[in-house]
Structure formats: structure tokens, C-alpha cells
Amino acid sequence: MGKRRKRIRIDRILICLVFLVALIFLIRFIIYIIFGFKVLGEAKKGNTIKLYHDNANVWKKTVKYINENMDEVNIKYKNYTITMDSSYFKRNMNIKPDITTKKINSGEFYKQKGIYIDNNNIMSIATSIKFKLPHYIYKNGYVDLYGITDDGTYVLLESRKKVDKYYTLNVYDNYKDYFVTYVKLDSIKTTQSYTLEEGETKEIKLEFNPSNATNKKVVYTGYDKDIISIENGLIKALKAGKTTIKIKGDDMSIAKVKIVVNKKKEEPKKTEKIEVKSKVTKGEDGIYYIDGIMIVNKSYPLPETYDPGKLLPEFMNAYNEMLADATSDGIKLWIQSGYRSYDYQVGLYDMYVKQDGRAKADTYSARPGYSEHQSGLAADINNPSSSFNGTKEAKWLKENCYKYGFIIRFPEGEEEYTGYKYESWHIRYVGKVISNKIHEAGDISLEHYYDIESKYSN
């Protein structure tokens, strides 16, 4: 009798277990059905699709609807919102991005803390991803986005002013990973004093430490506005006198500059006007200059041994200033092609010659040693092709780059002077004094402005 009761109890336990498993399965199935209807409904309304698991375990019907009826789809998972082309959306895809806090200690960074984003499978198909920034980054109001190439080079893609703790990263091509950070400005160095004559204009040269500081916005205060005026980093002498400029960054880095303005010397009266033009001179370094500006074109090559190895600090300082203002205006700019070595230009030029012949290649590509890219003072912005012409980014660049010391190096209609076709994307740093003068002259080419040639000797 005792054995039978024991057997009955075991049977009942087994029945209960089976019932419990069936109940769990039923509940999960009901949740799946409810979730399925909800996701399909969100898709049909064009809303962001919320997922609660890192695998997109949705109905085939939902996948089909998204693929056929939507251009792009927004997927929310935890603190991430991922935007992708709808054709990539499918069932059981891993939507968990690999975003971690990491310290970088290479190149221009020294134990710099930030958010490191691995370009894993979801990043490789996403067009953008929105995620939460830690307080130590967003509290500063500015962030930098770096793209990391296959060889480990960090390329500044975007400098953005933030107003909240969420950041949207637009995925670029050709970058392995990404790094979002804020690099604090420690100090500002500049020339201690400037001497000008009444009516003269000079650029305030600033050196930021570290050179890759995120926020390089400065304010000029404390000077006598009757003696000088300052606009876009240019000092204009108004009348004779002495004053001091206080240069303050948002990180409380302060530098002082003493200004002395002398009375303008009286020029002797001339019976006739004689126009004196600057001439190109060759320095001891083998580089050609005019008014202190490095000249690189078809007539004036760089020495084969010249190799700065990267874009020069004066270029990057001006570019970062321009990038911050462009971003504030809703304009996205990035450096697509910056410094190029002599050897790199050899391969690039030879490829174009094989493709189109030497005569045509010479209208859009420089021969080795004749390329401004080797100077470290020029770069191609965004998209180096004719499709960039007329875009809002190209228009902004043309209308504003002079404010930061840049010129559009090969302007439209200046082909007979430059020897190259119009390139709306190619900018060259010449300093604010010269860039403003060229802008006032009608945004003409460097050759036109200085009346110099750009022709190969053979």
C-alpha cells in the first residue's frame, strides 16, 4: 500500500511539471504574439522599433514589410538607437553594439579616456547609432569623434557642441573603429607682443596645448577698442597707442599679448604710381615662398626630401576652429584626404595616367613633388569628386573658409591660372591675412592673386 502511494505522488509531480512547462511555453507564446503585433504596428506607423533582446527575433511578416515598404529602419535596444537601411533588417541579427569605456595612449593621446566603439557586425551595416555619453564627457559641452583606420591612425571626423547626454554617431566609410572623447585644453601659447602701424592688420598666432584639445574657442577681452579691433583672430590697428589683449579659452586657459600701435609713416609723394609685386623666392630649404606663403604648383615643386609626415599644426588648429563653427551651423565636414607622401603621390599619379593618359591626368592630379598634399597645408574635404560641387557643404566652405585662413585652392573659372579643373573640396591654409585679402579680391586663385605661373616645364 505504501509503495502505491509513493508511485501516485511521483505521477502527480510529473503531471505538475508537464503542466508548468506547458504554461511557461503558453505564456512565452502569448508574449511573442503580443510583441509581434506591437513590432509590426510600430513598423507600419514608421516608429522606432523597440527590441528587448539583442537578436531581432521578429515575425517574417514584419521583416518582409520593412524590407519592401521602408527605406530605413530605426531599432531601439536598451540605451542604443540604431538606424540602418531596411534591406539589411532580418531575423536573428545581433543588434548589440560593442561600446566600451577605454583609455587611449598612442599618438596625440596620453591616457585619454573616452568611448571606444568597435565596428562590429551591426556597426558595419548601420548608418548611425545614438547612445548615452558618460557625464565626464558631456558635462564639458563639446565632444570629438575620431575614426580609426586599419593602421591605427586616429582621424578627427567631427567636433560637436553637445547640449545633452545623448550622442548620434554617423557611420563613415573606411574606418575600423571610433573613439568619442573630450580632450581638455591645458594652455594657450602665443607671441608675447605685436607691433603694428595704424591701418595695418596682423593675425594672432595661437598654439594650443595639447594640439588636439577639443574646445579651442577663445574670447579676446581687455583691450582698448579705440586702439585696435579684433575679428576672426585678426588685429587691425586703429590709432597709435598701447594695449593688452587677454585671450581666454572655455577651459580657463589665459594668455596675454601686448600690442603697440605706431603712427603711420608719411610716404614721400610720387610723381607716378609704381606697382611693386612680390616675387617668388627659393628658400635654403629648397621650398618656394612668396610673402612668406609656401608655393606649390606646376611651376614650383617641393623637394623630394620634404616630408612633414602629417597635416601641420597650423592647418589643424584652423581646421578644428572651422569644424566647430560648421557643426554649429548644421554642416558636416571631415578630412577625406590630407597629407600625402612623395611615394604615395607617385603611385596615385601613375594610376591616373594609366587610366586617362598624361594630358588628362595633369588636369586633376599633380605629379609627384608638385602636389600641395605633400606640403601638410592642404586637404580634400568630404567627397573629392564633382558630385560635391553645389552641395550645402561646398557652399558653406566657399563662403566661410577664408575666415579661418583657408582658400579654395582651385576655384571655378580659374583653370587658366591654376592649371587644374575646379575643385570645390580642396582647401589650402595660407593664414587669415592672405585668405581675407584673396576673399576681398573675389576668391580668386593664389596664382591669379600673385600673378605667378603654374605650368610644367615639360
Strand ranges inside 250-339, DSSP E: 254-262, 281-282, 288-290, 293-295, 335-337
pLDDT digits (tens, 9 = 90+) for 367-421: 999 999 999 999 999 888 888 999 999 999 999 999 999 999 999 999 999 999 9
Class of domain 98-181: mainly beta
Give burial (CB, 10 Å; 0-12/13-18/19+) of 390.
Answer: exposed
Domain coordinates of the chain in residue numbers? 18-88, 98-181, 188-262, 287-450
What letters, b where the CB count within 10 A reaches 16 and e where it falls short, cover 210-223?
eebbbbbbbebeeb
How far is Cα 233 from Cα 435, in angstroms, rounded to an integer?
12
Instruction: Give the CATH fold of the 188-262 domain.
Output: Immunoglobulin-like (2.60.40)
How far is Cα 94 from Cα 121, in angstroms, rounded to an integer?
8
Would you call the peptide bond into 210 cis, given omega within 30 degrees of 0 as the criterion?
yes
pLDDT digits (tens, 9 = 90+) for 119-167: 877 888 888 899 999 998 888 888 988 888 887 888 888 887 766 788 9
Q: Do domains 98-181 and 287-450 have the same CATH topology?
A: no
Q: What are the beta bridge partners of residue 117?
A: 99, 178
pLDDT digits (tens, 9 = 90+) for 230-239: 988 899 999 9
Residue 349 corresponds to which cell in the numbers above?
599619379
From edge to edge, which strands make up the β-sheet containing 112-118?
98-104, 112-118, 177-181, 142-148, 154-161
Report the chain (458 residues): mean pLDDT per 10 consecutive residues. 56 81 78 68 79 79 85 87 88 85 83 88 86 89 86 81 81 84 89 90 87 86 93 90 91 87 74 59 90 93 88 89 87 87 89 91 92 93 90 94 95 93 95 93 93 89
The sign of the torsion formed by the CA atoms of 31, 37, 40, 43 equals negative
The pLDDT score that the predictor gives to residue 273 is 47
How far is Cα 38 from Cα 46, in angstroms, rounded to an integer?
12
CA atoms within 13 A on the CB side of 7: 4
The pLDDT score that the predictor gives to residue 274 is 45
Instruction: Give the CATH fold of the 287-450 domain.
Output: Muramoyl-pentapeptide Carboxypeptidase; domain 2 (3.30.1380)
The pLDDT score that the predictor gives to residue 243 is 95
Instruction: Answer yes or no: are the C-beta atoms of 346 and 364 closer than 8 Å.
Output: no
φ and ψ of 116, to 5 deg: -105, 125
Residue 139 corresponds to which cell in the numbers above?
558635462
Instruction: Answer yes or no: are the C-beta atoms of 278 and 290 closer than 8 Å.
Output: yes
